[in-house]
Amino acid sequence: DQQVKQNSPSLSVQEGRISILNCDYTNSMFDYFLWYKKYPAEGPTFLISISSIKDKNEDGRFTVFLNKSAKHLSLHIVPSQPGDSAVYFCAAILYNNNDMRFGAGTRLTVKP
Amino acid sequence: ETGVTQSPTHLIKTRGQQVTLRCSSQSGHNTVSWYQQALGQGPQFIFQYYREEENGRGNFPPRFSGLQFPNYSSELNVNALELDDSALYLCASSSRQGAGGEKLFFGSGTQLSVL
């Protein structure tokens, strides 16, 4: 039962341009969403999150947008840098629940 | 500040064997969660330990079991290994149970191959 889906396995963008990573979910009870970044041979690291009561959260070059009616969230990276090349996981959680559901990930490649 | 460490980094076992994976939580953290990441998929929640007791479990059979020790380090045990158990096993620690996801700090994982 895959409740969090990332339908694009990979994305390639040019340095300096915008990267947009997408995520869809099916469970309307999720009320907290996160993005993690994973480099090879390392564990995932937290990037940015958003509560279901908001529709946007910004942290430097990273912005997450939430569309609850469409059950869709996206991560925007502007401007993209080669060091952003990694696998990005979308995750969803019932707040204060310990079962976090992850998408399958999108591999982002930023070309110099 | 010491991060989350996992051992071993790689492991090869045969079907039917038992395996124990180990995790040392980040300093100051009392909660440990275990995840299984199969190839091409996202991490799947196995279970969480808080103050030495299981505090939530995902959709994994009983042959997946765990322990947490007084120093908050943890073990994941898998009995009767199956080929589908081949995966990256990730440990994550946090400072309180049921923490929002940003409070999770992941180790680099143990890559288990079952032949």
Which residues lie closer than 8 Å to B40 by C-beta, 6 or more apart?
A: A9, A104
The verdict on B20 touching A (C-beta cutoff 8 Å) is no
Q: Answer left, alpha or beta for residue B101, where phi above 0 means left and psi between -120 and 50 means alpha.
A: alpha
Which amino acid makes up residue A98? N
Q: Is residue A53's pLDDT more than 60?
A: yes
* C-alpha–C-alpha distance, residues B69 and B50, integer Å: 10
The pLDDT of residue A24: 97
Q: What is the pLDDT along chain B (115 residues), one digit of tens a residue?
A: 568 999 999 999 999 999 999 999 988 888 999 999 999 899 999 999 988 999 889 999 999 999 999 999 999 999 999 999 999 999 999 887 555 666 788 999 999 999 9
Give the pLDDT of residue A96: 64
Of A32, A43, A104, the CB nearest to B107: A43
Best residue in B37, B74, B91 to probe A by mutation, most A CBs within 10 Å? B37
Scanning A20-39 for CB atoms below 8 A from B yields: 32, 34, 36
Mean pLDDT to the nearest integer, A1-29: 94
